[in-house]
Amino acid sequence: MPTSDSHASMADVARRAGVSVATVSRALHGSPLVSVETAARVTAAAEELSFAISRVASGLASGRLGRIGLLLGGPLHGWFNGTVIDAVHDRLTPADVELTIFRIRDRAERDVFFTRLPARRNVDALIVASFALTGAEHTRLQTLGVPLVYLNQRVRGVPSVAIDDVAGARDGVRGLLGLGHRRIAFVRSVQRNPGFRYSADRRVEGFRSAMAEAGVAERDQLVVDAHDLDAGDEVLATVLTRSEPPTAVAADSDELAIGILAAVVRAGLRAPDDLSLLGFDDHALAGRLGLSTVAQPAALTAGEAADLALTLAAGRVPARRTIVVPTRLILRRTTGPVAPRAAA
């Protein structure tokens, strides 16, 4: 019988099944070294005692924790982070690996994380999502002693899964150019805490690249900073009060674009008639709102990262250490040819 009123231990199961703890362990892990009859007896005994292997004990003995960490910046309820958590969890579950969330909110928490490294000796692998890590931080992570996988971020020598932000933004802007737009503004979200988004600058780069390619001089490449996801009105005002206002606006995220879209409606204007609007991400609401966007398959990216982490955690060698996931331009109802009023 169990030692106390709490949980049954493997020894209890062993006693009940009339075998040794070693056999119980093997049977419960589905080892082929155990005869079917014995395995059945053990399984039955475990069932009757409501026994479950303790992950801590097992982890201590085997050195494998059965847990993968996910390091995130920013709010977990944002579209990107939420999607990532979802996708990673879905890949880990079938492998019977658990997910532990590490989140960094601000500079202070960030320093604490990299100082204490709470993931140390605590996860089998760590997925690092969308940070713009400093060199020092990156070096520090290397001392963690567990495999790392970078998500939406490229660093030489570290396994990573990422979209090509430059190409994505470039394709999006090319799409606008293809619709005849020449005066295009790019709206960039400026975080209060720099370093929390790896992609931001690269998307601006893609914009500039497409514009240059179309022969637009750098000084005519309008880049507007949004200091807040709710800065829609402000951005719209900035843009529309120019002497030659743009005919299209590309934002570096859908969440930002949606805010601008709302501002457009509030201003009594219409998209795309008065202004074409393009987002980035393919946020869950983008389709519902008809927002044109550069879709990044975040779920896929995160899923690949999880697979990579699982492989590394198991000590196996992955087929590819660096994976680039493609983006895709989706034109919905907020983009249209330039000067549609003349055409109508």
Partner DNA sequence: CTGTTAGCGCGTTCAC
Partner DNA sequence: GTGAACGCGCTAACAG
Which stretches of the chain bind a second copy, using CB under 8 A?
6-7, 50, 52-57, 59-60, 65, 67, 75-79, 81-83, 85-86, 89-90, 93, 98-101, 103, 105, 109, 116-118, 120-122, 143, 145, 229-230, 232, 258-259, 262, 265-266, 284-285, 287-290
Question: Residue type at 252?
Answer: D
Least Å distance, CB 48 to DNA, is: 15
**25 contact, one of a second copy, DNA, none, CB 5-8 Å limit per kind:** DNA
Nearest-angstrom CA–CA distance, 68 and 119: 9
Whether the link from the prior residue into 194 is cis, omega within 30° of 0, is no
How far apart are alpha carbons 55 and 11 in whole angstroms?
16
Site membership for DNA, residue 314 (CB under 7 A): no
**DSSP code string of 196-211:** S-SSHHHHHHHHHHHH
127 neighbors 305 (Cβ within 8 angstroms): yes
* Both structure tokens of 73: 């910046």
CB 124 within 8 A of CB 97: yes
The residue (of 277 and 310) whose beta carbon lies closer to DNA is: 310
Angle of helix 21-28 versus helix 10-17 axis, rounded to 10: 100
86 binds, among a second copy, DNA, none (CB under 5 to 8 A by kind): a second copy
> Measured from the CB of residue 82, what is the shortest distance to DNA in angstroms?
33
How many Å is the maximal CA-CA distance in the chain?
A: 88
Residue 83 binds: one of DNA, a second copy, none (C-beta under 5 to 8 A by kind)? a second copy
Give min distance, CB of 167 to a second copy, in A: 25
Strand partners, 235: none
Sites for DNA among residues 35-54 (CB under 7 A): 35, 37-39, 51, 53-54
119 binds DNA (CB under 7 A): no
Number of residues this chain uses to bind DNA (CB under 7 A) = 32
Q: From residue 134, give the alpha-carbon distance in Å to each of 114, 131, 243, 297.
A: 11, 9, 40, 26
Q: Which two tokens stand for residue 97?
A: 């690996």
Nearer to DNA, 147 or 232 (CB): 147
> What is the distance of C-alpha 97 from the center of its chain?
19
Residue 62's binding partner among a second copy, DNA, none (Cβ under 5 to 8 angstroms by kind) is DNA
Choose which of 26, 138, 181, 197 interacts with DNA (CB under 7 A).
Answer: 26
CB of 97 to DNA, least distance (A): 14
Q: How many residues does the chain have?
A: 344
Residues that bind DNA in the complex, under the rule CB under 7 A? 3, 7, 9-11, 18-23, 25-26, 28-29, 32-35, 37-39, 51, 53-54, 57-58, 60-64
